[in-house]
Amino acid sequence: MTTYIAWDGKEYPKPTPAGWYLGADGRWWPPDHGPGPSEVPPVAAPEAAPVVAPNAQTAVQGSGGGSGKVLIGVVLVVLLLGGIVVALLAGGESDPVSETATTVFRTETTSEGAPETSTDPNPTASSTTTVAPPGKGSIEDPYALGDVVTIQYTDITEGEERVWEIEVTGAVSDQTDAVLAENQFNDAPPDGFRFAVAPIRVTYISGPAPASLFDLNFKALGPSAVVLTTFDPSCGVVPNALDTLAEAFPGGTLEGNICWVAKPSDIEELTMLIEIFLVDGETFVELH
């Protein structure tokens, strides 16, 4: 049986879902998500056309046989030197076909918290800058457990504003035994780690429809100061898991559990980071 690696780092049997593509990171991603496909090889520049020297076979007649031959020799030398100069000048010109322009988009957060999009004409330079939002929801002042957190941003693809409401409905806890009992193929966490699970509620308030929960990325941070993701490493099949690939129209609500592989000493002090796909900045919410 052949398999493939999906966006969440898990291995599934082929075929891949319709419309998915193989990303540059070697994983299969849904449309309009992921790092994009592998780079296409650049178009080779066409070979420069050879320089054709002017016709040097010109009949020159002199008053005498010797002077005529000398004049023909001088003409041939002049033509030869002229051809060399033309070739050198042609070789020094740049080939405009081989020069390609790449625009890298950058999204920053202004002091008012609204996203601001600009372009970076230099594809080789780092093009993303994370600007921590001030005030409530920052790492210094996270939202409390049970707060309804409003996430508002401009969708890069649609160019329209999207608004979500997210609420952590219960404290994070060690659910290792429950996760292992959920599916016989679930692997135990690495030595010194446990499965930390938190229940959340997500509601799509307004914006282009449908909206995918895939735009929302839920991470966690504890005293160990290491950012945890839900997919690398993965907890496996989680009881009543939040469907992160689900879609919703305005007013639609989804609930479920999210899980991180964490150290036992971190679980009781974890803080959740809410990130938006392809948008810089994050919102912090306490999980205890």
Mean of pLDDT values over 91-108: 34
61 pLDDT higher than 60: no
What is the pLDDT at residue 78? 52
Long-range contacts of residues 227-233, Cβ cutoff 8 Å, at least 24 apart: 227/273, 228/260, 228/261, 228/262, 228/270, 229/260, 230/8, 230/258, 230/259, 230/260, 231/7, 231/8, 231/9, 231/10, 232/9, 233/9, 233/189, 233/190, 233/261
Choose the weakest-confidence range: 127-136, 221-230, 240-249.
127-136
Mean of pLDDT values over 134-159: 89
Q: Give per-residue pLDDT as tens, 3-39.
A: 878 777 777 778 887 787 888 778 877 777 777 775 5
What is the pLDDT at residue 156? 79
d(CA 243, CA 165): 16
- Give residue limits of the domains in the chain: 137-286
H or E stretch at 217: strand 216-221
193/67: higher pLDDT: 193
What is the pLDDT at residue 57? 43
CATH assignment, 137-286: 2.60.40.1240
- Is 0.85 topped by the overall pTM? no
d(CA 242, CA 238): 9
Torsions phi, psi for 138 (to 5 deg): -85, 170
Q: Give per-residue pLDDT as tens, 247-277.
A: 999 999 999 999 999 999 999 999 999 999 8
Compute how many other C-beta atoms are within 10 angstroms of the C-beta atom of residue 86. 14
d(CA 143, CA 124): 37
Q: What percent of the chain is predicted at pLDDT more than 90?
A: 47
How far is residue 252 from each of residues 54, 214, 284, measured CA to CA in Å? Answer: 77, 15, 23
Q: Give per-residue pLDDT as tens, 155-207.
A: 877 788 999 999 999 999 999 999 999 999 999 999 999 999 999 999 999 99
Mean of pLDDT values over 74-100: 47
What is the pLDDT at residue 143? 97
